Structure 1
Amino acid sequence: ETGAEISLALATSGNIGTNGGCSKEEIAAIREKEQLDATAGYGARVKFLRFPDEGLQDTPETRRAFLNAIRWANPDVILTHSPDDPSTDHAMTARLITEVLLVVGAQLVQTEEPPLSRMPSVFFWDIPGGYRFDPEAYVDITNYMEQKLHAIACHRSQLRWMEHFLSDGYLDSMRVQSRFRGFQCGCQYAEGFRAHRVQGFFADYRLLP
């Protein structure tokens, strides 16, 4: 509705994210299709980096891939996992993004995509369950809650896996957490965010919807 262009970069392949009896190669292909189905509703561009699950490490290869993905997106704002996320892949994603951020405009650090002319703002989204995450900014998603749940529901293979861990189901847990964040900020449903800060640069909260 705001006219924003959305680009998604997925770091890992999802190749262990199910208990459905598939091989790693089969589930990775399924997860990519599910991701494309989920993004079809809002027209996002998607880039798959295809690193293996539980194998995301801070290496020259991953740094270059992350840097290239940021340059590919050419974003004003990056929304990503929290450094305190309990998933090691998610936490490493946050670390890699924030560490390569300082060279997104460096001419001598070459990738397939050209250097950026500006530094994007970075915000971390909520942690599952909200533990150890105190939002600094909230976005009212009341009018989009059902669209959010529909997009999550497209990840059918992962939802079946998550049912083993959540007695009320993953979609219900997402609704409850969004309702709690909405309660905190005075609306029905909301998302909470925290800003990434480095010396000489401060995230622009006006870029949040």
Structure 2
Amino acid sequence: MNILAIGAHPDDIEMQCAGTLALYAAAGHKVFMAVATNGNVGSPTHTRDEIGAIRRKEQEASCAIIGAELIWMNFDDEWLFNDRPTRTVFLDAIRRAQPDVMFIHSLNDYHPDHRIAGQIAEDCRIPASVRLVETALPHCPKIPHVFYMDNCAGVGFEPECYVDISSVIDTKRRMLRCHESQDTWIRAIYEDASITDLMERVSGIRGAVADCGYAEGFRELKTYPRTGSPALLPNLA
């Protein structure tokens, strides 16, 4: 299968579903990680150009750990909008990956870029397979099955299915640690905790509910047409 995760910023995908992606990759599936914005405001010291370049290199290093293909959309951080040009780029991201399964942000996450990226991805799910919706790439042969990723810190998100990521938690840590610049950023404006500390809190809580060491939680997109089921997820807990 082809697996596509779409995140608003560098590190979003790693935080919410890197363990699941690592399991897919280990099973031989093709994994794509599409990042909508370039993260070019996420620094207390660097210029926009400097931090944007740093975050792209960090994202490339993270993708390399599981052999994922990076799709870099390069929108400005904090300025993501649901308009035609942006939708066109999202459509081509989906068409490039031709996914069987797609992971997107939940629509009630805390950050507007998260919510908007999730909404655009959901809205592009069907048009990406429509031949006469013309973009730079040909239409997809099928409509992907979509799962919502957990919210940041798990706030306001009630998973309905869990993936046991205990066997790949070290891989998830390594992928997050590639985003070294975000440790500085998180400590500067959010809390005195590392990016991996924040991840492990949520993964541990989800794991406790799923009766395993660490887990990632998801919800299905259940609108018409139904294209799959939770059985598409690896290592269900």
Identify the TM-score tier after normalising by the shorter chain. over 0.9
Q: Which residue of 1 aligns with 2:144?
A: 120
Structure 1 residues 200 and 40 mapped into 2: Cα distance closer, same or farther (>3 Å)? Answer: closer
- Superposition map of 1:165-184 within 5 A: 165-184=190-209
Any conservation in 2 of the 1:123–1:203 contact (CA below 8 Å)? no
TM-score, normalised to structure 2's length?
0.85
Any conservation in 2 of the 1:196–1:202 contact (CA below 8 Å)? no
- CA root-mean-square deviation: 1.1
- Superposition map of 1:147-186 within 5 A: 147-164=171-188, 165-186=190-211
Query: How far has the Cα of 1:111 moved from its partner?
Result: 1.3
1:17 to 42, 50, 54: 42
Q: Which residue of 2 aligns with 1:206?
A: 231
Any conservation in 2 of the 1:149–1:171 contact (CA below 8 Å)? yes
- Name the amino acid aligned to 2:27: T
- Paired positions, count: 208
Matched, 1:44 2:64: no
TM-score, normalised to structure 1's length?
0.96
- Superposition map of 1:22-37 within 5 A: 22-37=46-61
Q: Deviations over 1:36-84 (max 9, x none)?
A: 1111111111011100011100110001100110000111101121111
Matched, 1:68 2:92: yes
Q: Deviations over 1:105-146 (max 9, x none)?
A: 111111121101111011111112211111011000001111
Q: Structure 1 CA distance, aligned partners of 2:231 and 2:138?
A: 26
- Name the amino acid aligned to 1:186: D
Query: How far has the Cα of 1:198 moved from its partner?
Result: 1.3
Q: Which residue of 2 aligns with 1:102?
A: 126
Q: Which residue of 1 aligns with 2:28?
A: 3
Decide which structure has the larger Cα Rg and report it: 1
- Superposition map of 1:188-199 within 5 A: 188-199=213-224
Question: Which moves more between the two structures, 66-75 or 169-178?
Answer: 169-178
Q: Helix, strand or coil for the counterpart of 1:117?
A: coil
Any conservation in 2 of the 1:13–1:50 contact (CA below 8 Å)? yes
Runs of 4+ in 1 over 3 A off after TM superposition: none
Q: Structure 2 CA distance, aligned partners of 1:118 and 1:61?
A: 23
Unaligned runs of 5+ in 1: none
Unaligned runs of 5+ in 2: 1-25
